Structure 1
């Protein structure tokens, strides 16, 4: 039995991903994962159970949100060393999970490691990131809706100069089960978005480090589930950003948290207006 088969259990949260989910599960099996838990966050019966083969299917009966869905899935998983968390529209490349397992087994001070995420067109998704300071966060929030590739957003979506990272995308990562459980898993106050950043923040508060491996590669279709509820996802995104600012801000920065909330609220209004105009145009 390989290290992956012996040490890894995968949790995939599904929300109407259909064939993408089938491909995700197949790629996990191809990488040696024998235990796979799928959480059905859509309507009862929306997950294509018959096409998935031998998986543990958890049916909450409602959309719990991403982090809460992972937590429910982990509760149904056996006690293995590592937990692989994945979106349903991710395809894991050959050898990626073995690489992630090797990383954590050889870096005892790291709790979590994320792979390099690429899009279907082979472009790299910026999944390795830093915790933004107040000025970087503010500039990113203000400029990103109008200037997607502005310097603040590029810096926010990049690792530190030495290649180290503070957090990685929740689309796919491997975490030590013991560390995940020690912090209570994902903070379920985050319905969608920033739950990955909050998870890594909470791990850092316990003294753990977060890593990234460019040798482990996955493809993320991105947005398969979000496309069903664009407006709700916009609101959830901004609500989570506000929550993380209040959670992580301390000292003088906390005095600026109300201003950050105002900036994010204004950005949400602009984003919703833009979405409405684009819907009318189409």
Structure 2
């Protein structure tokens, strides 16, 4: 933690909400002790009274009520309304531990080549959540997609989620989960923030690739701690919608970052067929096994 004689860096927090009133209120209650200097809540078309409830309970929070723009666009809009050199983007179902925002901002600004820092993310029951991951190669991607839901400890998923790393040790990473992500405004603005072409899912992977491509580093810092209940907003949607949206985002990522050779560009229709098959097989597998929405992350 930063000592009493060290000037605390200013940090803003941008919370994106969709049909998550109680989660948003609970998240906001943790931010004062966490060290947030500015707080912006971007509500994306909720009909559950989130906007009125937040304005009544937290007059210090700037509330932006917008249409359902998707996570990336909403986060970009919120960050644009902040002035601090560090912005922490978060889902409404995140709870910040005391001092965590200050810690993330301090770690981020301590190195001039760092663009983003991610905290130690835990589930509500205390288990570690794999939020700092490797960028998978094609074999890892296929293995993870095929076996993640039926063979939890398969080597491809373990490699993708970087489960071989001690969660108590900091390290540089390929990408960080957007559930709670501290970004340097200079770097975030320079690459254009999150790609608005992703409605939901994979926008954090895409951001990591573009930041590293621009010469920045990303780092996991376990001294910043949050708790994340996975899927609060997507839990209000049908499962097929979540899966097909995820597949569209993966297709966009393939087209932007992986279809770099003529052969890979020619293979894109096959990739799309594979993604469609993944959606169907996932739905069938979940129906047969009785396992619904993942509680361990994608």
What is the TM-score normalised by the length of structure 1? 0.90
Q: Distance in 2 between matches of 1:186 and 1:127?
A: 17
Of 5, 16, 19, 1:16 maps to: 19
1:247 counterpart residue number: 256
Alignment of 1:1-282 (within 5 A): 7-43=10-46, 45-47=49-51, 48-49=53-54, 50-60=56-66, 62-77=67-82, 79-158=83-162, 163-229=171-237, 230-249=239-258, 250-251=260-261, 253-254=264-265, 256-274=267-285
Runs (5+) with no aligned partner, structure 1: none
Are the aligned partners of 1:40 and 1:57 in contact in 2 as well (CA < 8 Å)?
A: yes
Match of 1:212, SS? strand
Moved more, 8-17 or 243-252: 243-252
Deviation string, structure 1 residues 114-152 (Cα, Å, up to 9, x no partner) = 001000000001001011111111111122232233110
Are the aligned partners of 1:128 and 1:159 in contact in 2 as well (CA < 8 Å)?
A: no
Moved more, 177-186 or 18-27: 18-27
Closer, same or farther in 2 for the Cα pair 1:204/1:223, shift >3 Å? same
Q: Distance in 2 between matches of 1:120 and 1:180?
A: 29
Are the aligned partners of 1:159 and 1:165 in contact in 2 as well (CA < 8 Å)?
A: no
Moved more, 20-29 or 270-279: 270-279
Runs (5+) with no aligned partner, structure 2: 293-298
What is the TM-score normalised by the length of structure 2? 0.85
**Deviation of the 1:3 alpha carbon:** 5.3
**Deviation of the 1:233 alpha carbon:** 1.5
- What RMSD in Å do the two structures reach over aligned CA positions? 2.4
**Deviation of the 1:277 alpha carbon:** 6.7
Q: Distance in 2 between matches of 1:258 and 1:246?
A: 11
Moved more, 254-263 or 183-192: 254-263
**Deviation of the 1:275 alpha carbon:** 5.6
**Deviation of the 1:164 alpha carbon:** 2.9
Moved more, 256-265 or 144-153: 256-265
Are the aligned partners of 2:36 and 2:102 in contact in 1 as well (CA < 8 Å)?
A: no
Closer, same or farther in 2 for the Cα pair 1:86/1:3, shift >3 Å? farther
